[in-house]
Structure 1
Amino acid sequence: MSELSGFGLVERARAIAPFVAREADAIERSRRLTPAVVNALIENGLYRALLPQSLGGAQAAPEAFMQMLEEIAKADASTAWCLGQCSVCAMIAAWLDHDTAQEIFNTPPGILAWGAIAHEARIVEDGYRVTARWDFASGSRQASWLGAHVRIVGADGAPRRNADGSPELRTILFPVARATLHDVWQAIGLAGTGTDSYEVNDLFIPERFTAFRDVPSALREPGPLYKIGTGATFSLGFAAVSLGVARATLDATITLAREKHQSLAAGAMRDNGAVQGLIGRTEGDLRAARAYLYAAANAMWRDLAATGEFSAAHRTAVRLAATWTIHQSARVVDTAYHMAGATAVFRSNPFERRFRDMHAIAQQIQARDAHYEDVGKTLLAGS
């Protein structure tokens, strides 16, 4: 087992969280993780949480990965978001040959980021050529490599197809120095993620720097983790980030309520029965959301470890739990923010940025309402 395995990652995240919190204002102002924070994440092995043990990674179970992100998210959502994004991207090492993965992930800083699925790669001798621009590359400002998910087409532009007739999709990988990055991330929240756009022009991609990501039959690494795939792992990770933001926001409101005397109120906020009841109910809502997310993740993990199969039922369960958790976390943040009153609107207090960050999280693909429709359709279809 790697020395980074399991819950040692959580302890390391908890240990550096106060430092990350002190850097949060600088991260917000500069719209990127500070070099000191990036170095702390690297030195503590946190970017390697999901990297195969054969490459010196932790290959951690989902529960440890999620708790690691929660601890960092309590300190700063942008840092946790980038860490989650790049950690999941590193899972692609399980689909690469060992030497290629070694070159990407064991040459410092060994960080990979990518954006949304779009565009195509044209087949040429020994590889592919690509001219394209992609969006939403969280963590790209720290990355040494970038990736993109593309359709494969022949010289005539016709799509290459899989055995079942579906278009062939591959993930291509290339050094960040071969791309042009565009600073476009002027967003309401998660300002420090630097979720920029990037493009390449007539870039040659050797065959070995491509992978059939999330295709179980193409895996080169053993173990249950990589059978989950990146999509479901992103969902679990970003839901955990939302829990960390909600926890920190509610804790800040509880701390405020212990001391604050509201305008025109006779007593302290902590003695107000309405405030007491609302804090109690909101605490219950947050604990319930966290328990549900971890119960779904752990049930999936136990089944996967026993059967070796990540089933459609597992995928549905993870998607539902992650989506609902993000939405519930947003409600907790809203309640905590409103309880804080006028105090919450000032940038000097620990509410305003978390409020914006949480609502940026809730706009991401992992929180789409359409996921409920997919789950409902599956349930109504029966067994």
Structure 2
Amino acid sequence: MENEYLERVLELLPDIAKRARDTEEARRVPEETIRALTGAGVFRMLQPARYGGSESDPVHFYEIVRAISGACGSTGWVTSVLGVHPWHVALFDDRAQAEVWGENPDMLISSSYAPIGSMNRVAGGYEISGTWRFSSGVDYTGWAVLGGMLLSDTGAPIDTTTLLVPRSDYEVRDIWDSVGLRGTGSNEIVVERAFVPDHRVMRNFEFSQLRGPGQAVNTSPLYRIPFATVFTSAIAAPVLGVVSGCYESYLAAMRDRVRLSLGGGRFADDPFAQVMIGRASSEIDASILQMDRNVRALMAAASSGREVPMQLRLRARRDQVLATERALDAMDKLFKTAGGHSLERGNLIERAWRDAHAGGVHVANEADRALALYGRGAFGLPVEDNMV
């Protein structure tokens, strides 16, 4: 099936690329870019149709993210993060969905999933306080999905949770100043004694069981695939897009370059450079193909009504973390062989190198933990983890 959003986004890419350096300097995506992406319907791709969304194939969403990331890594990252949250909100109680989108279907939601906030049980819900960091694109959002730790009466951890909180209940502090993905505006959220009703609280155990109260009203198979796959793919996709876009820029820049050292000659005639291109391009292609294959397989399982196999869920996580690892390896090959020109500030290759590696440090891209889970499953051992 053809990606109906791709043509719209391709028209936006030249302007997004032109703004890439300004995006870095401002440390946030320009408002005109957010407006353009909103107008193109990108942020509603995974949103329920009941609230104006298109319930698109998630493979198409990740394709859009990769395309945007190739023009500007920061814009692609923000697009992916803000664009995946409607899928998550769709799993909440419909009362929460109505609060978020009832008056404005274009309402954007940011997040900070680390369970660092305090949660005190009160009548009808919880009182929460805390400081959550790394909330990408938060300047443009009216709601936030925040992580919390649910404790027993004795203070022992029971489960991690996610809580939906409106902008009126938190403060945004401008602290983002990073080496890569500088334009994502990943500032911090501060909450002081805000009330969160029960219908805006979900235990992460429910997500790991592929359950959510929102499934009662949002019946598409899209909302019955694993949170772990949907979310982590949204973190890997910008990295793949940055590296893929850099690869194309690299070919254009190096095709006619003449070396002034190492015997001179055209760079493109160097057989070692040709081998590197072959390796790097294959790693990028293989990563995208594997991730897309897994998401399609998960959608097919959900569409059939049968239980989504744990081995498939583990495979999706395995291939997602390795996709990021492979992309970063390809990025390093490109950067290393581009020569001194790649060191110039603002150069497309050096910015891509910084952005890709910044995305790579996200916990969702932590390879060893995900691979260990896959290994447990392959050996027939029980796997209990919310990120599968």
The counterpart of 1:103, out of the listed 88, 93, 99, is 99
Are 1:243 and 2:240 matched, yes or no? yes
1:116-155 to structure 2, matched below 5 A, reads: 116-153=114-151
CA contact (8 A) 2:129 2:192 kept: yes
Deviation of 1:332 (Å): 0.8
Deviation of 1:182 (Å): 2.2
Partner amino acid for 1:227? R
Counterpart position of 1:181 = 172
Partner amino acid for 1:26? D
Deviates more, 1:311-320 or 1:97-106: 97-106
CA contact (8 A) 2:115 2:160 kept: no
Partner amino acid for 1:64? H
Partner amino acid for 2:3? F
1:288-303 to structure 2, matched below 5 A, reads: 288-303=286-301
CA contact (8 A) 2:44 2:106 kept: no
Cα distance in 1 for residues equivalent to 2:298 and 2:25: 40
Counterpart position of 2:41 = 45
Counterpart position of 1:203 = 194
Deviates more, 1:308-317 or 1:33-42: 308-317
CA contact (8 A) 2:26 2:183 kept: yes
* Paired residues, number: 372
TM-score (norm 2): 0.89
Counterpart position of 2:386 = none
CA contact (8 A) 1:227 1:309 kept: no
Deviation of 1:323 (Å): 0.3
Are 1:167 and 2:158 matched, yes or no? yes
Counterpart position of 1:192 = 183
CA contact (8 A) 2:73 2:181 kept: yes
Cα distance in 1 for residues equivalent to 2:18 and 2:98: 34
Deviation of 1:343 (Å): 0.9
Deviation readout 1:223-269 (Å, 9 max, x if unpaired): 21112243321112222222211111111111122121111343221
Cα distance in 1 for residues equivalent to 2:118 and 2:307: 30
The counterpart of 2:357, out of the listed 351, 359, 381, is 359
Partner amino acid for 1:306? S
CA contact (8 A) 1:92 1:211 kept: no
SS in 2 for 1:167: strand
CA pair 380-38 structure 1, distance change in 2 beyond 3 A:
same
Partner amino acid for 2:336? H
CA contact (8 A) 2:5 2:42 kept: yes
Partner amino acid for 1:248? G
Partner amino acid for 1:222? T
Deviation of 1:94 (Å): 2.0
CA pair 151-18 structure 1, distance change in 2 beyond 3 A:
same
SS in 1 for 2:149: strand
CA pair 152-382 structure 1, distance change in 2 beyond 3 A:
closer
Deviates more, 1:289-298 or 1:246-255: 289-298
CA pair 39-364 structure 1, distance change in 2 beyond 3 A:
same
SS in 2 for 1:91: helix
Partner amino acid for 1:378? G
Counterpart position of 1:90 = 86
Deviation readout 1:190-238 (Å, 9 max, x if unpaired): 1111222211111122333334462515333212111224332111222
Deviation of 1:104 (Å): 1.1
Are 1:81 and 2:77 matched, yes or no? yes
Counterpart position of 2:62 = 66
Partner amino acid for 1:333? M
The sequence identity of aligned pairs, in percent, is 23
Deviates more, 1:22-31 or 1:346-355: 346-355
Deviation readout 1:161-194 (Å, 9 max, x if unpaired): xxxxx82544222222321222232222111112
Deviation of 1:109 (Å): 4.7
Deviates more, 1:265-274 or 1:26-35: 265-274
CA contact (8 A) 1:235 1:318 kept: no
Counterpart position of 1:162 = none
Deviates more, 1:144-153 or 1:196-205: 144-153
Cα distance in 2 for residues equivalent to 1:246 and 1:217: 35
Deviates more, 1:94-103 or 1:179-188: 94-103
Partner amino acid for 1:375? Y
TM-score (norm 1): 0.90
CA pair 71-291 structure 1, distance change in 2 beyond 3 A:
same
Partner amino acid for 1:183? D
Moved over 6 A (4+): none
Show structure 2 runs of 5+ residues with no match. 383-388
Deviation readout 1:348-382 (Å, 9 max, x if unpaired): 42111110011111111122122112211221236
Deviation of 1:339 (Å): 1.6
Deviation of 1:314 (Å): 2.5
User: Please, what is the CA RMSD of the aligned residues?
Assistant: 2.2
Cα distance in 1 for residues equivalent to 2:361 and 2:232: 13
